[in-house]
Amino acid sequence: MIKEKRKIFPGLIITLLICFTACKDISSDNKQEETIAEEDKIIQYSDRFSYLLDYSVDSLAFPRSADDNGIIKKVLSKDWTSGFFPGTLWKIYQLTGDTKYKAKAKEWTTFIEKEKYNDRTHDMGFKVFCSFGNGYRMTNDESYRAIILESAETLSTRYNSTVGSIRSWDFNKEEWQFPVIIDNMMNLELLFEASNYSEDPKYYNIARQHANTTLKNHFRENNSSYHVIDYDTITGKIRTKVTHQGFSNESSWARGQAWGLYGYTMAYRYTKDIAFLEQSKKIASFLMEHKNLPEDAIPYWDFDAPNIPSEPRDASAAAVIASGMIELYEYTKDKKYLEFADEIIASLSSKKYIIQKETNVPFILSHSTGNWPKNDEINGPISYADYYFLEAVLRRKNLK
């Protein structure tokens, strides 16, 4: 159960959703206007949307993160995070109905098309489905559909039937033969949808088998997840289990747990495999009941980091968890998942996590942690935090 001493305020969430939809959905009803005025603790973070709109379009400069000095880390389309910025613009368009965001989303999305042939990465879902996938839902542009299908075909070439998984990374070959990371669960959505689009079961079968292999090997007895499982390519047997971006191999890296929750809930959506739903529920319990979960429900970057409560938080993990919990609620109708998601959304919507208006960077949330072991992107804004935060808000809004 969620700790009783932490409480959620439904009125706060309702006002939160009103703030997000002010451009399109809010009426001129005086009571609504008064409600917004009274909730002066809620930042009108829709103001931050304009910073994303004003960021200069550049095919070589997808905004990934920013440091304490406001210096933006810019990446090429081949970077695993490239799809989140255009995806965020698509979601802002969905929230506001403002066609300026649609136009800008289309511009940025176009730059990712060449990745459909990039067979050196497993992150096709993050790059292509977060951009073209959202675009296809918003526009029904058949050229987007074709790009998604080509990307699924490319991703499928990384599948190894002996292992029963899609290969994740190609680096560190002197140590790993066939590494599979928990993050890769997120890329299965591209494959599932590709089978829906094409009526070809190949992509569905690969995705489902990958989910089954991960379910079998990635999780500990307490339902936390390792980050990386390395397999022998000849026998398909496990060689090593490590947590590459966590504090230690046996620690529970927060974003990894978030990927697992979201990934298995999504896999259940497509397969209706009860084992996937049960795993989602187990991960949810691990997260909600953990003794090191902070009062505001925004996890530290690793649940077992040694200097809690002085460790950095990870707002990106929280955003992924919130979005996953809302979908899990849809399938279970268990209100504890929805209440926990509401709690996270409310916390992320506070002044502590929303970047203040005067900070001129194309991001919404701060206090995310990218790669702590490498001291990279610590306690700042990161593009995927914004993406999953807006997805969570949209999912919550659509429940109404």
pLDDT tops 70 at residue 152: yes
- Tell me the C-alpha distance between 147 and 128, whole Å: 8
**Is the separation of the CB atoms in 252 and 260 below 8 Å?**
no
pLDDT tops 70 at residue 313: yes
Q: According to the model, what pLDDT value does residue 45 have?
A: 66
Q: According to the model, what pLDDT value does residue 6 have?
A: 52
pLDDT tops 50 at residue 372: yes
- Tell me the C-alpha distance between 95 and 395, whole Å: 11
Domains in the chain, CATH or no CATH each: 162-184+195-242 (no CATH), 248-400 (1.50.10.10)
pLDDT tops 90 at residue 20: no
Question: What is the band of 140 on the pLDDT scale with cuts at 50, 70, 90?
Answer: very high
Residue 386 carries which side chain, given as an amino acid letter? D
- Tell me the C-alpha distance between 286 and 264, whole Å: 14
Residue partners of 310: CB distance under 8 A and separation at least 6? none
Q: What tokens were used for 166?
A: 């899609």
Question: What is the band of 324 on the pLDDT scale with cuts at 50, 70, 90?
Answer: very high
Q: According to the model, what pLDDT value does residue 198 have?
A: 96
Q: What tokens were used for 287?
A: 């997260």
pLDDT tops 70 at residue 7: no
238-270 per-position pLDDT tens digit = 999 999 999 999 999 999 999 999 999 999 999
Q: According to the model, what pLDDT value does residue 35 have?
A: 32
Mean pLDDT of 302-317: 98
pLDDT tops 50 at residue 314: yes
Q: According to the model, what pLDDT value does residue 32 have?
A: 36
Question: What distance, in Å, lies between the first and last C-alpha atoms of the chain?
Answer: 24
How many residues are listed for the chain in this entry? 400
Mean pLDDT of 79-85: 98
3-state SS track over 66-122: ECCCCCEEEECCCCCCCCHHHHHHHHHHHHHCCHHHHHHHHHHHHCCHHHHHCCCCC
Q: Which of 25, 67, 183, 302 is an active site residue?
A: 183
- Tell me the C-alpha distance between 202 and 195, whole Å: 7
pLDDT tops 80 at residue 167: yes
Residue holding tokens 């949810």?
A: 284
Mean pLDDT of 143-164: 98
Residue 282 carries which side chain, given as an amino acid letter? K
Q: What percent of the chain has pLDDT over 70?
A: 88
Q: Which of 175, 89, 99, 180 is nearest to 135 (CA)?
A: 89
Q: Which of 47, 68, 98, 123 is an active site residue?
A: 123
Q: What percent of the chain has pLDDT over 90?
A: 86
199-214 per-position pLDDT tens digit = 999 999 999 999 999 9
Question: What is the band of 226 on the pLDDT scale with cuts at 50, 70, 90?
Answer: very high
240 marked ligand binding residue: no
22-66 per-position pLDDT tens digit = 444 433 333 333 333 333 333 356 789 999 999 999 999 999 999
Residue 183 annotated among the catalytic residues of the structure: yes
Q: According to the model, what pLDDT value does residue 357 have?
A: 79
334 marked ligand binding residue: no
Question: What is the band of 17 on the pLDDT scale with cuts at 50, 70, 90?
Answer: low
Judged on CB neighbours under 10 Å (0-12, 13-18, 19+), 314 is buried
6 marked ligand binding residue: no
123 marked ligand binding residue: yes
40 marked ligand binding residue: no
Who wins on pLDDT, 23 or 132? 132
